[in-house]
Chain A
């Protein structure tokens, strides 16, 4: 990888009860991008997630109770913002993202043509099989978000991303809750941040269970469609303006 030597990279791994997979994820990331700092956001886990993360060599930020993936990710961006990192990479704690592909995201990001690079499972067919009810939801969301954004996205639910300083600043200030990926894509577009997709492979989870059951899939889909629609009606936050400071 031919990255400028001074680029400071923070890899953010949100983790909720991921003791089975986290060791492999953290050491995978450290082996693949040795120069990056790794922070695990322990989102109120009830298992040994924070211990395992620390032993694997990550900095651990433990939230006092479960806040949900959106708030956990935002916490990571807050760490990146405060630590003067130039690039933030987000990788799921369950091991479904291949740490060896972080380099691809970074290279694309550092071309400077995009502010956020998203690893897409569906840009190329790499044999990743999604259960059909979820595929159905993912397709509908992708269509809808693409339509609203005026840009084609093949994978709006991917949480495998790299953001430059401008994008991570905006994420630290304002990041959607619960199921943030599709919503954040549209928020990026609204703020004039450029998003591009890179094809990635996706592993099966190392351990634990997916938090997404059919009922919650349906709930999330409806919630995200509502959230995304309302986002359109909202005035775009100005740069540096935060929605959580009153």
Chain B
């Protein structure tokens, strides 16, 4: 199944990553939503490492002459996609965070004004 050591190494690493991600999801250290891309990437690399004939056919198409190197190309592309996705998540979090902060500021000012007006005009007991 593994004709060379590099493919074996990639297989072990991808399998380890798969287990790590699943374990982190189980412990709620990683949300399912964000684990999906990692699982897909680890799974794809795992498949390619096992299915050596497929890899041997795909690699030359990409211009990669040493087939196992194609695994790294796949990993690199996968990482880029994940990083870009995370940047969009950060962008959205920043926006939501800003809106929350703005609302807190405005609400606090309104609350203080309200408290002040209540102090000045105490209601009848």
Contact = CB atoms under 8 A, between A and B. Distances in A.
A71 interface: yes
Q: Is the interface of A mostly helix, strand, loop or mixed?
A: mixed
B109 A59 contact: yes
B106 interface: yes
A44 B114 CA distance: 22
Contacts of A78: 102, 106
Interface string A41-71: 1000000000000000001111111010001
Contacts of B106: 61, 75, 78-79, 82
B101 A74 contact: no
A244 interface: yes
Q: Which of B104, B105, B108, B109 has the most CB of A within 10 A?
A: B105
A77 to B, nearest CB: 10
Interface string B79-108: 000000000000000010011011011101
Contact of A64 (B95, B99, B101, B113): B101
| Interface SS of chain B | helix
How large, as a class, is the contact surface on chain A? 10 to 19
Contacts of B102: 63, 67, 71, 74-75, 78
B54 to A, nearest CB: 40
Contact of A62 (B98, B99, B109): B109
Interface residues of B, number: 11
Contacts of A60: 109
Interface of A: 41, 59-65, 67, 71, 74-75, 78-79, 82, 177, 244
Query: Which of B95, B104, B108, B109: most chain A Cβ within 10 A?
Result: B109
Contacts of A64: 101, 104-105
A78 B110 CA distance: 13
A48 B105 CA distance: 17
13 contacts: A41-B105, A61-B105, A61-B108, A62-B105, A64-B101, A64-B105, A67-B98, A67-B102, A74-B102, A75-B102, A75-B106, A79-B106, A244-B99
B100 to A, nearest CB: 9
